[in-house]
């Protein structure tokens, strides 16, 4: 069965929006607060590089067992620490997310590799052993009616020629819906929508 996982980029409030955390919440508790409501997070390249393996161990300690971390890759990250951070996250690592060139340098064995795909139609990509991480068009972060149709099209494989997500083996990674630095409220609504669609 296909699963779709909506992911926000980072757990800090959006730079151009209001602070979404209680005013008296210490900054070091923000990840734990975030992880109580959401299923996972896309950790930006700069954040996991700065945190390193020690930071990753702390993230695991601060979050519930169901919560997953996805590391955003850039080209050459195999040599720049992604392997060590991935090892520190252990089974809490959901996968490595990046472009085809970034994923090509990732280790062959180990964490799931999810190809970051923009929204332009007609793209063809090398899918050997890779899952898909779709960038959600910004208007759909708040338009759930449009979001549902968009999700259904990707699950049926209409986003990329020759890809049928419903035929993917059960052990394959989920389809990721990358929502950028959306509002927490919008991420919660996406989670509820996917549960109602039976795709969570």
Evaluate if pTM is beyond 0.75. Answer: yes
Q: How high is the pLDDT of residue 144?
A: 97
- Give the start-end residues of each E strand in the chain: 4-7, 40-43, 68-72, 93-98, 113-117, 130-135, 175-178
CA gap 20, 187 in Å, rounded:
12
Q: Which domain holds residue 133?
A: 4-196
Average per-residue pLDDT in the chain? 85
95: helix, coil or strand? strand
Of 64 and 172, which is predicted with more confidence? 64
Neighbouring CB atoms inside 10 A of 15's CB total 6
CA distances for 99 relative to 1, 119, 147, angstroms = 25, 13, 23
Of 37, 13, 8, 35, the residue nearest 23 (C-alpha): 13
> 33 or 125: which carries more pLDDT confidence?
33
Q: CATH number, domain at 10? A: 3.20.20.410
Give residue-wise pLDDT tens across range 23-39.
999 999 999 999 999 99
Number of domains in the chain: 1
**DSSP letters for 109-146:** SSS-EEEEE-S-TT-----TTEEEEEEPPGGGGT-HHH
- pLDDT grade, residue 100 (50/70/90)? confident
DSSP β-bridge partners for residue 9: 42
Please enumerate in sequence order all residues whose Cβ is within 8 A of that of 50, keeping only pairs 6 or more positions apart, or say none. none
Q: Are 51 and 28 a contacting pair, CB within 8 Å?
A: no
- For residues 123 and 94, the answer to whether their CB atoms sit within 8 Å is no
Q: Are 165 and 156 in contact (CB under 8 A)?
A: yes
């Amino acid at each position: 069965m296909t699963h779709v996982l909506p992911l926000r980029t980072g757990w800090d409030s959006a730079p151009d929006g209001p602070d979404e955390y209680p005013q008296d919440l210490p900054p070091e508790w923000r990840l734990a607060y975030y992880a109580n409501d959401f299923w996972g997070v896309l950790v930006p390249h700069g954040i996991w590089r700065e945190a390193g393996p020690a930071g990753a161990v702390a993230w695991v300690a601060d979050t519930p067992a169901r919560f997953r971390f996805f590391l955003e890759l850039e080209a050459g990250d195999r040599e720049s620490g992604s392997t060590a951070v991935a090892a520190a996250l252990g089974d809490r690592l959901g996968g490595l997310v990046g472009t085809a060139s970034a994923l090509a340098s990732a280790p062959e064995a180990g964490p799931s590799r999810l190809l970051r795909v923009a929204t332009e139609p007609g793209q063809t990509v090398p899918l050997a052993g890779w899952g898909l991480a779709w960038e959600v068009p910004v208007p759909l972060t708040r338009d759930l009616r449009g979001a549902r149709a968009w999700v259904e099209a990707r699950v049926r494989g209409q986003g990329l020629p020759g890809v049928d997500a419903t035929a993917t083996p059960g052990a394959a990674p989920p389809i990721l819906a990358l929502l950028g630095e959306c509002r927490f409220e919008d991420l919660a609504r996406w989670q509820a929508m996917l549960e109602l669609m039976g795709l969570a």
